[in-house]
Structure 1
Amino acid sequence: MKRALRMVVLLMLLGVLVTPGPAPANAAGKTTWTSVVAYFNPNPEPDPLPPDYTEPVLNVLFLQQGSTSRRELLNDIEIKPYQSGTLLVGNVLRDPNFTGGAVISATVPVLAVYKQVSTETKEPYSPILYTSFALSDAGLGTFYLPNVQANQAYDTRIGVQNVESLQIEVVLRFYSEEQGEFVTARKPLYNQRTLVINASDALKEAYNGAMQQPSLPFRGSLVVQAFRAGNDDPARLVVVAQEIQGGGRRAYAFEGVNGGDSWLFMPNAMCEMGDNKMSAEMMVQNVGAGDATVWVEYYSAAGDLVATSPTAVITPGYNHRFDACDEAVYAQTRGQGLSAVIHSDGEPIAALGKVRSDDGLMTAYTGLRMPGAALPGQPYRTVLPYVEWSPKSTGLRTYLTIMNVSNQPATDVRVLYYGSGGVLESSHWVARSDAQPGPLAPYARRTSNPGAARALNPDTNHFAGAVIVESDQPVVVVARVQRTVGTGSYSTLGDEYNGIPYAEILEY
C-alpha cells in the first residue's frame, strides 16, 4: 500500500554531540549538547486491515545551515500505531558542529519534538524543547517572535527555515518600546535551508528610517519577512528561538507563529505559587495592522475570574509585558496556580509565556490559540510526542497542564499514556461528570504526570513514550520537562513545550 508522504519541519540551532566521545564546546552557553528528535505516530491501526497494508515508516532529511549538501537518514524507520521513538542526531550525522534543520517525512502523519540536553554532569543546563511544524504552520511572507533580547544575560538565537523549494530572501524587523523599529537588509536563503543568527549580530546589521542603529542592551519583538528571490512575492517560512543564560544554567526555546488571534490561552499563569514561588510573565505582540488594546484575565482552578490586568495599547509589531505578579493584580493572584486568557479588542495578537521560580526554573512556551474543531463523533485530541519520567528526580520528569478553553465545563477529559512500543500504559481521568475529579470549569486548569497516572513501569519506576489528551471540549496542553540539580543557587531546571492539536482520520 502506497500513501502520500506527510512532512513536518524541525530546526536545530545548536551543534550536536556524538555519543560516546568529546565534542568541541559550543559558544552558546559554553557547553555541548545532545540533540534528540522525539517522534510519535498518533494514528490507530486500520480495522479491518487492507490486503496491501504495510507498517508506516518515516525518513529524516538533515539540511546544513547555508549549505546545498543533503544529509539523509536513508533507512526507513518503522513506526507502528501509537509507537514513539527518539533519534540521537549526533549518532546519525557524526558532526559536532552541525547547525541547520530537518524535514521528517512519513507514510502517516507523525508529530515530533526537538530536545537538547547539556552534557555537563556536575553543572548541567536546563533541557531545551520545542515542537515540530507542519507545512500548514508555515507563514506566507511573515512570521512572528513575541520576544527577543540581547543583553549580558541572554542573546536570543534566531532560526529561520525556508520551506520553499526555491531560494528566498528574508528581512528581520526588530521592534522595541524604548528604541523603535530597526530593519536588516535582505538575506538570501537556499531552498529548505536555515539561517541561524544571534539577535546581537542581527541588530548590528539593522537600521531605522534615519539610518541609526539600535543600542544594547535590547529587548523587544521580531517580525521576519520572506520574499521569493528577485521579487516581492511572499515566501513560506518558519521561525524558532533559543535563549541560553550567559553566566548561568537556564535555557529554553520557543516557536514563532504565523499569525495570531484576539483570544490566547496561557495554562501556566501563576504568581508566587508553592515553596519555590513559581511566577509567570507574558510578552504579547501585536501581529495585526492597527493598534490593539490588550488585557489579561486570570482564572483559578475552580474557574473563577480572580483578577483582570490593566489594559495596554500595543502598536503593530511591538510587544508589551504582562506579569501575573504585577502590583495591580498581586493581591488577587499571589500564591495561586492560575491560568490566563489574553484578550485583544479585535486585532490579532501573539504571546510568549515564561515561568520562573526562586530555585532556578525558567521556561518558555508560545501562547495557544483555540484548537480547530474535532472530527464528527470524535473527541478533541491534543498530542505530546515526548513524555518521560525518570526514576530519579535528577533525571527528566514531565508535568502536564491541561486548560479548558471552552465556555462550557469539560466533563470527559482523559490523558492517555502510550509507552514507546505503542502500548497504552494508563488512562488518567482529569475531568469527568459522574465521578471524581468532577468537571473542569471553563478557563480552569488541571494537571497530570506519569507518576500520578500510574503509568510507570513497576520494575523500573520509569516511563518513556507519548501522550494523547482526549476531551469533550477544546483544551490546550503545556508539558514542562524538568530535573533536580545541585548547582549553586539552582535546584530545578526545565523548559516547556506545547501540545499539538490533532484531528485526522486516515482513509486506507
Structure 2
Amino acid sequence: MKRWLTLVLSVSLLAVSGGLADVSAQVDSGPTWGGRIAYFNTTAEDAPLNVVYYDADGNPYAQDGDSLPLVPPYGSGTFLVNSTLPESGGAAVLEAPSGVLAVYEQVATGDDVKYGQPLYSGMEAQEAGGLLFVPYFVYQYSELYYKTPITLSATLGVQNVTDAPVDVRVLENGVELAAATIPPQSSRHFDGEDLGLAAGTRTALVVEGPDSSILGAVVVEQESDGRRAFAYEAQGPARASQSLTMSRLTCSTLTRRLRSRYYVQASEDTTVDVLFYTNGGAKINPSKPLNFTGLAVSAGQSLEIDPCLDSRLVGKTGSVVVTSSGAALTGVGMVRDRYGVGTTFAAQVTPAPAPSYRYALPYVVWGKTSTLPRTYISMLNLGNAKANIEVRYYRADGSLGNKKNPTLRYKGVPLHAVRNTTPYSAYVLRSGAFAGAVEVISDQPLLVTARVQRAVTKVPGTTRVAEDYDAFYLP
C-alpha cells in the first residue's frame, strides 16, 4: 500500500534567502539554503521511494525516483531535494509504502553551516483538513533576551494536497487577512507583509479551506545577522485536544540561560489550567498558582505561557500539561538561550488506549565532534501507570546499532517522568559517529522528542544552534 508524505518544501526564510527550497540562492549576506529529507523504513519489507515536485501552478515537473535507493527493512538515510524548486511556490510529495516516515530539514550549506536548520515532520495527505491552526506567528517582532534584543519573523506555507484548485483564507481573530487560490499539489507562502501585519506583531492565525485539502508548516527566523531558525507543523483538528502535553520545560539559571515558552490556541472560547512536572515526574507547585489557573483563551487566539516568570519554576526542567475546560486546543513550545539556540515543537495529543505504543525518529545522528549535528532524545510518560520502554537504534542499512545489546530498556518510568538517550549513551558509535534512526516501544503512551544540535565557533554571540522535532506515532 502506497502512502504519500507531504512536505511544504518551499517556505522561505525572510531575512536570509529569497526561497528556502532554492539550493543555489544567495541573497545579500545570508546563507545558501538547501533542503534535505531524512527517511526511515519502519517495516520488515524493502521500500521504494519517489519524490514528485510540483511548480507554483501545480504541474509536476520533476521526480527523483530513479536516483533514490530501495530502502531495506529498518533502513534510513537522507537526500537533497531537487535543486530547481521555484522560489514563488511549489511543493513536493514523497511517495512510499505505508510505514516509511520522513522529516524535512532546511540546511545552510558551505561556509554558512553555522546557522540554525529548521526541522519539521512530513505529514500524510490523509491528515489534510479544512482548518489549520497556527498558534505562533510573528512579523518583525522584537524581544529582549537577557539584555540582547532579537527580531523574529515568520512565514506560513500552505499546501494543497488535492488534484483540484482550492481557495484558502488566512484569518486573525476571525478577520480575513489574505486569500488565495492554490493550484493542485502546490503551495502558497504568506509572510507578515502579505498579511498586512504591523511591525512588532505576535499573533495566532487560522487557515480555512475545503475539507480534506490543506496542510501547512511555519518557519520562524531571526532577522538581520541572527543565527536562530526553527519550524513547526501547522495543526489541524486531528491534532487538537482538550489536554495537551509539551516537553522541554527549561528555566535555567546557568550561564546558557535556556528558557522555554508555550503558546496554546483555542478553537472556541475557553479557559485553561496549566500544570508543571519535573523530569522525575513530581508536580511543581508554582508560587502564584492563580497565574496558571482559569486563563481565558478566545476562539482562534493563542495564550502565551511563560513558566520562567514564576519563582518556584526558576531552575527547573520538566514538562507542561495544559487542559481546557471545553474547547479543543493546539499548541507549540519553544526553547531559547542567550547564545544562539532556538527550537520549536508542536504540542502532542495522547493517543487512544492501545496494548502498546510505537514511535519512530527518522533522523538520528552523532557527529565525531560537537560542531557536527548530534541528536538528544527525550521520552516522557503520558500514561496512567509506570511505563516500560524499549529503544532500538538502527543504522542506515537497517542493521541494529548495538548487536550485543540491541534493546535498551527503561523499566518502571513514573507518570510525567522523562528518560533520555543518545547514540553516545547507547554505545552505537562507529569511529565516533552514528547515522540512522530510532524505534521506541512502550506499554504506556509517550511524548518522544529529538533535539538535533551542534556547537558553533568563531561567531560572535553564538556558541550553539539546535532544533527539535517530535517522533511519529505508529498506531
What TM-score do you get using the length of structure 1 for normalisation? Answer: 0.83
Partner of 1:158: 156
Instruction: Pick one of 160, 182, 191 that aligns with 2:184.
Output: 191
The separation in 2 between residues aligned to 1:478 and 1:95, in whole angstroms, is 30
Does residue 471 in structure 1 map to residue 442 in structure 2? Answer: yes
1:235 CA drift (Å): 4.7
Contact 1:71 1:93 in 2 (8 A): no
The separation in 2 between residues aligned to 1:371 and 1:352, in whole angstroms, is 18
Partner of 1:436: none
Partner of 2:398: 422
Partner of 2:298: 315
Matches within 5 A, 1:212-223: 214-223=197-206
Instruction: Pick one of 102, 108, 115 that aligns with 1:118.
Output: 108
Contact 1:114 1:129 in 2 (8 A): yes
Does residue 102 in structure 1 map to residue 92 in structure 2? Answer: yes
Partner of 2:120: 130
Partner of 1:207: none
Does residue 390 in structure 1 map to residue 367 in structure 2? Answer: yes
List per-residue Cα deviations over 1:74-102 (Å, max 9, x = no partner).
4263111100111111xx44558585321
The separation in 1 between residues aligned to 2:176 and 2:85, in whole angstroms, is 34
Name which of structure 1's ranges 301-310 and 80-89 shifts more when overlaid on structure 2: 301-310
1:193 CA drift (Å): 0.7
Partner of 1:48: none
1:16 CA drift (Å): 3.9
Secondary structure at the aligned position of 2:111 is classed as: coil
Against the structure 1 CA distance between its residues 65 and 274, is the aligned structure 2 distance closer, same or farther, given a 3 Å change threshold? farther
Partner of 1:57: 48
Contact 1:371 1:476 in 2 (8 A): no
1:362 CA drift (Å): 1.0
Secondary structure at the aligned position of 1:369 is classed as: coil
1:120 CA drift (Å): 5.2
Q: Match for 1:488: what amino acid?
A: P
Secondary structure at the aligned position of 1:371 is classed as: coil
Against the structure 1 CA distance between its residues 185 and 222, is the aligned structure 2 distance closer, same or farther, given a 3 Å change threshold? closer
Instruction: Pick one of 145, 148, 151 that aligns with 2:134.
Output: 145
List per-residue Cα deviations over 1:43-65 (Å, max 9, x = no partner).
124xxxxxxxxx32121111223
Partner of 2:462: 490
Q: Match for 2:302: what amino acid?
A: N
List per-residue Cα deviations over 1:449-508 (Å, max 9, x = no partner).
111111111xx21111111111111101111111101211111111111111012xxxxx
Partner of 2:216: 239
Q: Aligned-pair RMSD on alpha carbons?
A: 2.0
The separation in 2 between residues aligned to 1:66 and 1:182, in whole angstroms, is 27
1:337 CA drift (Å): 1.6
Q: Match for 1:450: what amino acid?
A: P
Partner of 1:266: 246
Rg larger for: 1
Contact 2:245 2:322 in 1 (8 A): yes
1:222 CA drift (Å): 0.7
1:278 CA drift (Å): 1.6
Q: Match for 1:10: what amino acid?
A: L
Partner of 1:68: 59
Against the structure 1 CA distance between its residues 120 and 174, is the aligned structure 2 distance closer, same or farther, given a 3 Å change threshold? farther
Q: Match for 1:33: what amino acid?
A: W
Contact 1:63 1:100 in 2 (8 A): yes
Partner of 1:182: 175
Matches within 5 A, 1:443-482: 443-457=416-430, 460-482=431-453
1:68 CA drift (Å): 2.4
1:110 CA drift (Å): 0.8
Does residue 24 in structure 1 map to residue 25 in structure 2? Answer: yes
Does residue 362 in structure 1 map to residue 342 in structure 2? Answer: yes
Partner of 1:178: none
Contact 1:430 1:448 in 2 (8 A): no
Partner of 1:230: none
The separation in 1 between residues aligned to 2:112 and 2:95, in whole angstroms, is 38
Q: Match for 1:385: what amino acid?
A: P
The separation in 1 between residues aligned to 2:52 and 2:428, in whole angstroms, is 33
Aligned residues between the structures: 445
1:373 CA drift (Å): 4.0
1:320 CA drift (Å): 0.7
Contact 2:171 2:178 in 1 (8 A): no
Secondary structure at the aligned position of 2:250 is classed as: coil
Secondary structure at the aligned position of 1:422 is classed as: coil
Secondary structure at the aligned position of 2:209 is classed as: strand
Secondary structure at the aligned position of 2:172 is classed as: strand
Does residue 5 in structure 1 map to residue 2 in structure 2? Answer: yes
Partner of 2:39: 39
Does residue 303 in structure 1 map to residue 281 in structure 2? Answer: yes
1:122 CA drift (Å): 6.2
Contact 2:263 2:332 in 1 (8 A): yes
Contact 1:364 1:495 in 2 (8 A): yes
Q: Give unmatched runs, 5+ long, in structure 1.
A: 46-54, 176-180, 205-213, 228-233, 433-438, 504-508
Instruction: Pick one of 406, 415, 422 that aligns with 1:442.
Output: 415
The separation in 2 between residues aligned to 1:36 and 1:123, in whole angstroms, is 14
The separation in 2 between residues aligned to 1:340 and 1:147, in whole angstroms, is 17
Matches within 5 A, 1:271-290: 271-272=251-252, 274-287=254-267, 289=268
Contact 1:383 1:469 in 2 (8 A): yes
1:71 CA drift (Å): 1.6
Against the structure 1 CA distance between its residues 431 and 274, is the aligned structure 2 distance closer, same or farther, given a 3 Å change threshold? farther
Contact 1:430 1:446 in 2 (8 A): no
Partner of 2:146: none
Against the structure 1 CA distance between its residues 388 and 98, is the aligned structure 2 distance closer, same or farther, given a 3 Å change threshold? farther
Contact 1:170 1:189 in 2 (8 A): yes
Q: Give unmatched runs, 5+ long, in structure 2.
A: 12-18, 142-150, 287-291
The separation in 1 between residues aligned to 2:415 and 2:27, in whole angstroms, is 45
The separation in 2 between residues aligned to 1:147 and 1:34, in whole angstroms, is 25
1:201 CA drift (Å): 2.2
Instruction: Pick one of 250, 257, 260 that aligns with 2:228.
Output: 250
Does residue 500 in structure 1 map to residue 468 in structure 2? Answer: no
Against the structure 1 CA distance between its residues 185 and 484, is the aligned structure 2 distance closer, same or farther, given a 3 Å change threshold? closer
Contact 1:396 1:482 in 2 (8 A): yes
1:187 CA drift (Å): 0.9
The separation in 2 between residues aligned to 1:340 and 1:185, in whole angstroms, is 34
Contact 1:15 1:98 in 2 (8 A): no
The separation in 2 between residues aligned to 1:115 and 1:453, in whole angstroms, is 24
Against the structure 1 CA distance between its residues 339 and 239, is the aligned structure 2 distance closer, same or farther, given a 3 Å change threshold? same
1:301 CA drift (Å): 2.1
1:295 CA drift (Å): 2.1
